[in-house]
Amino acid sequence: MDDITYKPIGSIRTPFKKQAGMPIQPSGAQGVRGTVKIKKDYIGGLKDLEGFSHIILIYHLHLSQGYSLNVIPFLDDQLRGVFATRAPRRPNSIGLSIVKLNAVEGDILEIENVDIVDGTPLLDIKPYIPEFDAQTEVKTGWLAEVDEQVKQVKSDNRFNAGKKV
């Protein structure tokens, strides 16, 4: 299969107008609020979503240009394989964040714990279901040593379109 084409279903509004200074992940974005505006054609798909406290947002990292197979994560000083990081300069610029869902009103979702740059095109929403999505007995490789630091570290300008570890 060759090219795969998607169309944004909406866009994400957040306080982060650029990457510098952004939290690296939702855990460092505790309490940061944003909204998702869904395009008219897709509003019907939001039915029943408000019963979920958390949702998975899949979006296009629209500021990321090109990719690197190896990157130095924010939290490290060594080159790591890009698929072993959450860095944005990936072969396919797909971002994923799990956020708290506070309210659904018409075409607007009120969300919290946001680590996404303002204006990001949204591709999909999925309900967060612990039985499917929460894993136990997890090992986190290179990140394990620096895991404790994550909440404190803010992103810098290391990546052109940079955020995330």
Element (H, E) at 34: strand 33-38
Distance (Å, rounded) from C-alpha 61 to C-alpha 151? 22
Q: Is 44 in the site for its own copies (CB under 8 A)?
A: yes
Q: How far apart are CA 55 and CA 45, in angstroms?
A: 14
Interacting stretch for its own copies, rule CB under 8 A, among 14-22, 124-132, 152-160?
A: 124-132
Q: Which of these ranges, 14-22, 58-66, 155-163, lies near its own copies under the rule CB under 8 A? A: 58-66
By DSSP bridging, strand 10-13 and strand 33-38 are antiparallel
Q: What's the token pair of residue 140?
A: 């986190």
75 touches its own copies (CB under 8 A): no
140 binds its own copies (CB under 8 A): yes
- By CB under 8 A, name the one of 20, 63, 72, 94 that touches its own copies: 94
Q: Which stretch binds its own copies (CB under 8 A): 12-20, 127-135, 153-161?
A: 127-135
